[in-house]
Amino acid sequence: METTYTRATLKTIRLSDLESATPETQGELLDACMRDGFFYLDVDDDHCDLANAIAYLADLNTRLFDIAEAEKRCYPFQTTGRGGCCGYKAVGTEAGAFAKPDGFELWMLPYNELMIPNYSHPLYGPEVVRLEKGTIATHTAAYHRICLLILDELSKALGFTKQRSLINEHAAHLPSTSSMTFLKYPEQEEIKAEGGHVSHTDIGTLTLLHATLDGLQVFSPGREDDVDNDNDATTGVWQWVPPRAGCLVVNVGDSLRLLSGKRLKSSLHRVVPHANAVGQARYSFAYFLRPSETALLDLGDGRVCKSLDWHFKKLTVFQAPPEVQAGNQAVLLGTWRSRALQLGWAPGPVVQGCMLSYAYLAILPSPAFLSVIDCDSDCHSKLTAMQLETLPQELLQRIGGYCPGSVLVDFASTCRAIRSACHDTTFYKLVATALIQRQSHIIADPDSNTATNTQVQAIARRACDNAAVWARYIVALDRAGDTYDGPCPDATRPSDAQEKKLARDTMQFVPQLLATGNSSWPLTMSQLAFSFAFEICSAIKTVPTHTHLSFVNAQNAMLNDWKIEPERCLHSQHYPYLLLGFMMSTLRAKGLWSPLTSYAPSLPVSTSRPDSTETIELPLPCDRTPRGQEQWEQWLRNVNKKSTYSEMMEGWEWDGIVSFDSYLLTFSNFGRLAFTLTPRDEGASSLICGRGCEGDREFTLEGELSHADSSVSMTQDFGCSKVRLQGRAGPFRIVGFWSTEYDKEVLGFFWIWRTGPSK
Ligand SMILES: O=C(O)CCC(=O)C(=O)O
Ligand SMILES: [Fe+2]
């Protein structure tokens, strides 16, 4: 395979020249970063600190992977420490370079935990990491210094003033997801089109890579397409970036591209098997410099994204199948990635599974035909078309089973045969099952036969069944206003009233799911619950215009933009909350349910999306039951008597969920809150403070509750970021909307309820 690719012609920049800061070197550096996004950094003889670091880290690289598999798996990167920048990733758990599982394992050691004494999070890792922390930190510091030097020179070359220097976004004392990362690609007996590292652009600012063997490739769009990699280049090639003795390979990541006003290039790269590497394991390690978590990245068109959000968005996308990644702007910053992926795909003979997985790509532009991407052994693809609707129903269903929900809905509305295949009542079950099967590496909870789990199972199954109806309901509702004159009007669709009822029935599961939704939720059940959320999410995505609900549009735009594939978030411990969040925000978007009106049903649901300039009219919550009504009145009497909130709130634990109405669907970003509140009366108001955790992030909560109108305004402080919560309190819950410190826009709602007395 290596014979078909040429070597990339990359610039080499000497570290000593960089240090002398001559305008020539600055020019060379800028040129390399604008044109290729990659260059070799020659660590010449004057830099023994860096040379020593490389030697030590290369040795540590092998030792880290010699650790027993069982121990490595104790530190899954999704949930270890701050999540996403520390811990271990096993081989084959994400998509690789060839639409098959990846071929590398990885360890990440986060910069903050290594460098900052008594950092709020410990440095998690195996014994060798704990014992050698000091040495690892010293060498990481050497890498970090080089990164800052490069940034300084780049800032000057870009003509940035000191105030705008790129260094400012990388303050050493602020949390960031920078990490020293080690990779091992297990040896292959022969060159096969499998494994490797999926084509991607790096998340952060700069990557300083050291590798022992060939395998790294960079994608170079044809030069005539200019260097702006937001353009859709129609030509381009993969080229080798061989390791060079005494040199590091440096590349620009997405964050630096965004910080530079898109002047620097974040190049697509990947790792594929190389003949030189046959029979040997390939080790590489990289220092990933990333901006402070709160640094703002300018995405263009007035959109700004916090560095940490970008990080998690990208991690989410990396979990998607390659064909989904192909179209994803969050990975690419340009649409030519699909072409690059096509060039790289070499799946061998067309096996059925493979064909089906490609089918969904093909369905997108032309739903009535299935284009089979048939790849021969030389990686050249040829397209053939065949009549899809002539396939038997089971096959249509299998193909449909590989499609994401949004495609499925379009797929179902193409012709009678496909519609009937998709509207078969068992079909959505099949979709859910397929989802679960695709995640078969996740082992079911061994205790899942306990009574509770069986009960949860039944609930989740039912939720899944209803999800099908619900997904269709959303679509039907959306299309109700249209004069549909397609080939096959759906005569079997239940009436709106029936479907509405089913949708409402589904909501009955909320308290049960809530009750059982804790960390002991078995994985299998999470998956079922998850597929439900998935359906809803997919359905949301298919609602293009729903003009009276601007809220839905905003949500759609976000989801489409980021192409969030929730099925890939299966490692999250937050499934039940994810599920609930989806259910609630979807129902709320449709005006069918509101965290507020379900407790005060006579009040109208506001269908406009509240924003910071609008006064949010939150009706006071109350239970609908007679007992709830009684408590509510009692509470009102208390309020009228100016009785203290302390009586109602103190001594209780509080639990909450935060829904993300927009795009945030990541490990630490989907929130479950748990904390205790200590209210203190101050005449007309109560001061509230609390401590808690959301996922594994600790926060403090501070705010004020007005006795006059029960309005609550709180700040949830994570140390590095703050969230503003605004709402109303009742005796048993506080509900409202939240926004971030930066964004005044409403990003979702929170719902906090009183649980057991505090211990
Ligand atoms: O292993 C390599 O050579 C490259 C790894 C890489 O691109 C990454 O981890 O982002
Ligand atoms: Fe990379």
Which of 85, 207, 274, 331 to mutate to test ligand 1, by most ligand atoms within 8 A of the CB atom?
207
Determine the pLDDT at residue 496.
52
List of residues 6+ apart from 274 with CB closer than 8 A: 1, 2, 191, 213, 214, 215, 240
Task: Tell me if 211 CB under 6 Å of ligand 1.
Answer: yes
pLDDT in tens, 528-546: 344 444 444 443 333 222 2
List of residues 6+ apart from 285 with CB closer than 8 A: 57, 58, 61, 180, 181, 182, 183, 209, 210
pLDDT in tens, 66-103: 999 888 877 878 667 776 799 998 898 777 887 678 89
User: Within a 10 A sphere around the Cβ of 27, how many other Cβ atoms?
Assistant: 11
Task: Tell me if 284 CB under 6 Å of ligand 1.
Answer: yes
Provide the β-strand partners of residue 239.
Answer: 6, 218
**Radius of gyration from C-alpha coordinates of the chain:** 27
Nearest ligand to residue 103 Cα: 1
> Which of the given ranges, 37-46, 228-237, 244-253, 398-407, has the highest pLDDT on average?
244-253
Average pLDDT of span 308-333: 59
Tokens in use for 599?
Answer: 């407790």
Tell how far the Cα of 76 is from the centroid of ligand 2, in angstroms.
20
Task: Tell me if 661 CB under 6 Å of ligand 1.
Answer: no
Report how far residue 418's alpha carbon sits from residue 536's, in angstroms, rounded to the nearest whole number. Answer: 21
pLDDT in tens, 33-52: 999 999 999 998 888 899 99
Tokens in use for 550?
Answer: 């601007």
Which residue is closest in CA terms to ligand 1's atom 8? Answer: 202
Report how far residue 457's alpha carbon sits from residue 465's, in angstroms, rounded to the nearest whole number. Answer: 12
Task: Tell me if 214 CB under 6 Å of ligand 1.
Answer: no
pLDDT in tens, 464-494: 444 444 444 444 444 443 333 333 333 344 4
Average pLDDT of span 111-137: 90
Determine the pLDDT at residue 633.
60
Task: Tell me if 209 CB under 6 Å of ligand 1.
Answer: yes
pLDDT in tens, 542-576: 322 222 223 333 333 333 332 333 333 322 333 34
> Which of the given ranges, 253-267, 443-457, 613-627, has the highest pLDDT on average?
253-267
Determine the pLDDT at residue 281.
96
Determine the pLDDT at residue 329.
43
Average pLDDT of span 615-625: 35
Tokens in use for 591?
Answer: 């005006």
Tell how far the Cα of 270 is from the centroid of ligand 1, in angstroms.
7
Looking up tokens 């999250």, which residue turns up? Answer: 572
pLDDT top residue among 132 and 435: 132
Determine the pLDDT at residue 740.
67
Give residue 748's pLDDT band: very low, low, confident or very high (50, 70, 90): low
Which of 107, 183, 214 to mutate to test ligand 1, by most ligand atoms within 8 A of the CB atom?
183
pLDDT averaged over every residue in the chain: 65
Task: Tell me if 471 CB under 6 Å of ligand 1.
Answer: no
Nearest to 751 by CA among 510, 573, 501: 510
Nearest ligand to residue 61 Cα: 1
Task: Tell me if 241 CB under 6 Å of ligand 1.
Answer: no
Task: Tell me if 286 CB under 6 Å of ligand 1.
Answer: yes
Which atom of ligand 1 is nearest the CA belonging to 269?
7
- Which ranges of 306-415 does DSSP label H, i.e. alpha helix? 307-318, 322-326, 329-332, 337-344, 352-363, 393-401, 405-412
pLDDT in tens, 393-411: 777 777 776 665 445 555 6
Q: Minimum mean pLDDT among 58-72, 257-271, 343-357, 427-441: which range?
A: 343-357
Determine the pLDDT at residue 679.
74
Report how far residue 455's alpha carbon sits from residue 118's, in angstroms, rounded to the nearest whole number. Answer: 44
Read off φ and ψ for residue 658, nearest 5 degrees. -120, 125
Task: Tell me if 210 CB under 6 Å of ligand 1.
Answer: no
Count, residues in the chain: 759
Tell how far the Cα of 48 is from the centroid of ligand 1, in angstroms.
24
Question: Which secondary structure element, helix H or strand E, spans residue 160, and what is its range?
Answer: none
Predicted complex ipTM: 0.99
Task: Tell me if 579 CB under 6 Å of ligand 1.
Answer: no
pLDDT top residue among 127 and 698: 127
3-state secondary structure of 690: strand
Determine the pLDDT at residue 429.
55
Tokens in use for 360?
Answer: 């969904």
Task: Tell me if 89 CB under 6 Å of ligand 1.
Answer: no
pLDDT over 50 at 321, yes or no:
yes
Nearest ligand to residue 102 Cα: 1
442 neighbors 506 (Cβ within 8 angstroms): no
Q: Sign of torsion, CA 605 610 614 616?
A: positive
pLDDT top residue among 96 and 18: 18
Report how far residue 30's alpha carbon sits from residue 21's, in angstroms, rounded to the nearest whole number. Answer: 12
Nearest to 376 by CA among 354, 347, 405: 347
pLDDT in tens, 712-738: 889 988 776 678 887 777 655 676 677
pLDDT over 50 at 259, yes or no:
yes
Q: Are strands 6-7 and 236-240 parallel, antiparallel or unpaired?
A: parallel
Determine the pLDDT at residue 527.
37
> Which of the given ranges, 194-208, 457-471, 662-676, has the highest pLDDT on average?
194-208
Determine the pLDDT at residue 756.
52
Which residue is closest in CA terms to ligand 1's atom 1? Answer: 284
Determine the pLDDT at residue 694.
63
Task: Tell me if 271 CB under 6 Å of ligand 1.
Answer: yes
Task: Tell me if 197 CB under 6 Å of ligand 1.
Answer: yes
Average pLDDT of span 7-28: 95
Report how far residue 752's alpha carbon sits from residue 657's, in angstroms, rounded to the nearest whole number. Answer: 7
CB neighbour class for 583 (10 Å; exposed up to 12, middle 13-18, buried from 19): buried
pLDDT over 70 at 235, yes or no:
no
List of residues 6+ apart from 398 with CB closer than 8 A: 356
Report how far residue 393's alpha carbon sits from residue 387's, in angstroms, rounded to the nearest whole number. Answer: 13
List of residues 6+ apart from 427 with CB closer than 8 A: 397, 400, 421, 468
Which atom of ligand 1 is nearest the CA belonging to 185?
1
Determine the pLDDT at residue 464.
45
pLDDT in tens, 415-468: 677 777 776 656 655 654 554 444 333 333 333 444 444 444 444 444 444 444
- Which ranges of 127-247 does DSSP label H, i.e. alpha helix? 127-131, 133-157
pTM of the model: 0.52
Tell how far the Cα of 537 is from the centroid of ligand 2, in angstroms.
30
Provide the β-strand partners of residue 705.
Answer: 686, 712
Which atom of ligand 1 is nearest the CA belonging to 211?
3
Task: Tell me if 208 CB under 6 Å of ligand 1.
Answer: no
Report how far residue 697's alpha carbon sits from residue 368's, in angstroms, rounded to the nearest whole number. Answer: 48
Tell how far the Cα of 421 is from the centroid of ligand 2, in angstroms.
42
* Residue type for position 248: L
Average pLDDT of span 368-379: 25
465 neighbors 424 (Cβ within 8 angstroms): no
Q: Are strands 216-221 and 733-740 parallel, antiparallel or unpaired?
A: unpaired
528 neighbors 535 (Cβ within 8 angstroms): no
Determine the pLDDT at residue 550.
31
